[in-house]
Structure 1
Amino acid sequence: MSLLQEISSISGFISEKYPDAAVHEFQEPPGLESNLFVVQLREEVRRNETASSMLVERQYIITFYDSNVGQVMSTMAELSHYLLSEPIHIPTLEAGRLLKIDSFTLQSAVQADGDLLACTGVFATQFRELRRMEPAEKVGRVQIQTL
């Protein structure tokens, strides 16, 4: 699963819900503005699960900027409900998959640049990824001998 595809799909999902808002990926823009979302990767952890698969856990940070504290908090609360209620479609080469959000943690609004306030939400996802394995050689001929 491509990290770039996942962040792009999350950004597209937010843009559908909030078409008037600007959405930036990976880092904050140089000049912050009102009605702005920023989607960033916080952490990725990979764990061996079986000989053929690994578990990938990712945490993302979404920050929303606006000048009104009520707007900041209500928008993020609404977004958390939206993200937990509806799966996000992630297009891949093989077939699309759905990104299911396991949890969403919302923090209080804090003062950002100028008169802007920022509210941050962190959400977690996980999925299994297959390992590349060399194809095993097929058994050619089997002989059975009875005693």
Structure 2
Amino acid sequence: MSIAEEVNGIGELIRTKFPDSQVHRFQEPDLPMAREFAIHLKQEIRRSEARSHTVIERQYRVHYYSELAEDAVVSMGAFSRYVMNETTSIPVPDGTGIVRPESFTIDLAEKLESGLLRCSGTMVVFSREAVVMAEYQKIDKVEIRTTIN
């Protein structure tokens, strides 16, 4: 699954939990408003699990903007519980593959120049991809000949 599909899936989770919130993907809004979310890719790590699969670990940073520190932290906590306890995987548009959240870390709410507060959370997700293998031509026909000596 591509990074864009995962970000869209995380956006769907946010819209399910907070239907009246706006979600920004890959960048923060120029002028953030209260009750908005922003999703960023923080890091991607690929490891070889076997000769046939690669494990992909991606870390996404989720920002929530609010006018009150308590609201920012409580809302991010509610989203964290929703992701970790109420869902089993991130929605995949085409239904292929499974992306499951492994952990969710919440940071302290920080004050922005505009006066809003931003609470950040880091979501770690895992998925697997098949390794492209060379295809060989199959043996079409096998004949056995024996001779008696």
Fold conserved between structures, TM > 0.5: yes
Report what 1:70 is aligned to. Answer: 70
* Cα distance in 1 for residues equivalent to 2:37 and 2:79: 11
State the partner residue of 2:90.
Answer: 88
Aligned-pair RMSD on alpha carbons?
A: 1.9
Q: How does 1:1-147 map to 2 (within 5 A)?
A: 1-85=1-85, 86=87, 87-92=89-94, 95-140=95-140, 141=142, 143=144
Is the 8 Å Cα contact of residues 46 and 54 (structure 1) preserved in structure 2?
yes
- CA-to-aligned-CA distance 1:95-121 (integer Å, 9 cap, x gap): 344421111111111111322001100
Where 1:103 maps in the other structure, the secondary structure is strand
Note the residue ranges of structure 1 that are not aligned, 5 or more in a row: none
Give me the whole-angstrom Cα distance separating, in 1, the residues matched to 2:146 and 2:112: 80
CA deviation after TM superposition for structure 1 residue 143, in Å: 3.9
- Indicate the percent of aligned positions where both proteins have the same amino acid: 30
SS of aligned partner of 2:37: strand
Indicate the SS of the match to 1:128: strand
**Given the two structures, how large is their TM-score scaled by the length of structure 1?**
0.90
Say whether the 8 Å CA contact 2:109–2:119 is kept in structure 1.
yes
CA shift digits 1:14-68 (9 cap, x unpaired): 0121111111000101111111100111001111222221111100000101111
Shift, 1:134, TM fit? 2.5
How many residue pairs get aligned? The number is: 145
Secondary structure of the structure 2 residue equivalent to 1:90: coil
- Decide whether the 8 Å contact of 2:46 with 2:56 is kept in 1: yes
Stretches of structure 2 that go unaligned for 5 or more consecutive residues are none
User: What secondary structure, in the 3-state scheme, does the structure 2 residue paired with 1:45 have?
Assistant: strand
Structure 1 runs (4+) deviating above 3 angstroms are 95-98, 142-147
Change (3 A) 1:46 1:114: same
